[in-house]
Structure 1
Amino acid sequence: MPGAVRAGPGGRAALPALMLTLETIVRRPARPRAGAPRLLLVHGICVGAWVWEEHFMPYLADAGFEVHALSLRGHGASAGRDRLDDWRLADYTEDLRRTAAALDDAPLVVIGHSLGGAVVQDWLRGGGKALGAALLASVPPWGLAWSAWQMLWSAPDLFQQMLRLGGDAAALDPAVMRRNLFSDDLPDADYARFIARTGGESRRVGMELQGWRPFAPAPWRAPPMFVLGGAADRFIGADAVRGSAAYYGVPSLLVPRMAHALMLEPRWEAAARPLRDWLERLSSHP
């Protein structure tokens, strides 16, 4: 793609998208795996590409994969934060489309967490081509309306926080978010670093994620899929994970004692390992 700037072996790149600049973080393997696809990671609500940087990116690069993580517009170091509530799911999907197009038509696997899973599915629905796609604690194909109803009864404090979600993350109660995003054994210092980097989210996208407009591809048009969630996730419950897997006709995997922010959890490797294993099988049998 003209104007794309590529990062070094472990750096960042800026990519023009309309009038915006998007952040990508890149981690290249010291020993590339023969025939391995590139990986493109898409984050969830209120965060950015940085959530993948500490654990998942080096872990997957050590397995021989070239790993790219995108910050959607208004997130991380990408432009557009001042217009956050203007953005729609289609805008985030366009960010993924442009970033994927800049990767030289190389074989690609897209990996989405939470909101990022909805972006990945919307991209596939719009004709995005991938060797495979992984949904981690993802918004299910039918949206979040049923999950929100379940949350109202099972975690009413969290439901109230989600109603406040918007451009300013300072409106959220950090204690409630910690209790519901992470396992109890997350160190205080880790949570302090997380909350210091957390931003807001588009209210418009929050409404779209309820499922009022379809965003998932027809299952028979999807590439090979991988579906994983946390057994202790209060955002995306076990029923949603199993339902997503059933929709795409693949097994589901629920990681014991794993909460929603799985890439930052103390037991993050319990989620990364089965993803790596699936990627290795996929790249061995394209």
Structure 2
Amino acid sequence: MQSQSVSYFDRVFEYYYSNTQQDSSNPPVLFIHGILSSGQLFTHELMPFMVAEGFPVYSLTLRGHGTHSGKPSSQPFQDHIDDVAAFIEFVSLQEKKPVVVVGYSLGGLIAQHVCQKEALSSKLAGLALMASVPPQGFGQLNRAMWFDHPALSMVLGQVMAMPNLALLNPYYRHVLMDALFATKPSQQQLDSLLSELKAEDLRLFLQPHPIAEDFSLNLPVLVVGGKEDKLVPASQVQATADFYGVEPVFFSPMGHAMPVEKEATKFAAHLANWCRML
């Protein structure tokens, strides 16, 4: 995967990219990451698989994550929405095709907000939500986590605030890894997931950022989750699917770390087949 940085109007995009060598009518696929990670997260399993299946692939690194030099403003969630919307325009212009957006975790909620923009309707081919924060936003998700897994809720807050220090605590590390992975992860999986840890801007999570209840999305939607996910459990994946009027697809054994889990290629195969039908 190639790592690139480009200026586009008043924005700087840092992203990973690879194009297929095949002459293909497949739409380009854009991955949007979640907390404590970057666009690099998708370069290990999902992007190579999709390229081999004939899809051009992109993964954007959000401001304040990975090696991105950009700083969020006083409204970091809106910054991410605006950046992703502009990057979709950029990718659509490069590829001369509408884009499939795959939003993972926090990236899923960002993608849902982006897809509300009427100006992007002709540039979007589909929306795939992968272990995504539900349309009801962080309020519902955080309440569910607090009641079902209070220790995880506490640990996650500490890890977001000071990840490298918090993960030195064996208990914190055990609780987080148990939530992220369905089976014991290999060192390679851990390295893939934890290689670009940075403290999160907690302003992202202080407001729920829900999708309007009367919002109607005229776009194909795929909703997937991991059966063993404790961060975005099956009930929240179902809530997302119900909101968009689709049936969710669950993978097992699969925790929240779907992009680097042992079964990641099974999800990638499903995604590729779904994208071909768009």
TM-score, normalised relative to structure 2: 0.88
Aligned to 1:202: 201
Aligned to 1:39: 29
> 1:92 & 1:147 partners in 2: Cα distance?
20
Aligned to 2:40: 50
Aligned to 2:229: 233
Aligned to 1:3: none
Are the equivalent residues in 2 in contact too, given 1:235–1:260 (CA < 8 A)?
A: yes
Are the equivalent residues in 2 in contact too, given 1:118–1:216 (CA < 8 A)?
A: no
Are the equivalent residues in 2 in contact too, given 1:110–1:132 (CA < 8 A)?
A: yes
Give aligned-pair identity as a percent: 25
Count of residue pairs brought into register by the alignment = 267
Return the offset for 1:170. Answer: 2.2
Aligned to 2:97: 106
Aligned to 1:257: 253
Residue 94 of structure 1, aligned match among 82, 103, 112: 82
> 1:100 & 1:70 partners in 2: Cα distance?
10
SS at match of 2:34: coil
Are the equivalent residues in 2 in contact too, given 1:46–1:198 (CA < 8 A)?
A: yes
Q: What does 1:1-286 align with in structure 2 at a 5 Å threshold?
A: 10-16=1-7, 21-33=12-24, 35-80=25-70, 83=71, 86-103=74-91, 104=93, 105-127=96-118, 128-129=120-121, 130-166=124-160, 168-172=162-166, 173-208=172-207, 211=208, 213-215=209-211, 218-282=214-278
SS at match of 1:214: coil
TM-score, normalised relative to structure 1: 0.86
Are the equivalent residues in 1 in contact too, given 2:228–2:254 (CA < 8 A)?
A: yes
Amino acid aligned to 2:51: A
Cα deviation 1:85-128 (Å, max 9, x = unaligned): 84521100111112111121521111100000011011012333
Q: Name whichever of 45-54 and 120-129 sits farther off.
A: 120-129
Cα deviation 1:22-74 (Å, max 9, x = unaligned): 311001112142x2111111001110001100110011111111001000011
Which stretches of structure 1, 4 residues or longer, exceed 6 Å deviation after superposition? none
Distance 1:278 1:217, change over 3 A: farther
Return the offset for 1:166. Answer: 4.2
Cα deviation 1:214-238 (Å, max 9, x = unaligned): 3468553341100000000001111
Report the RMSD for the aligned CA atoms in angstroms. Answer: 2.1
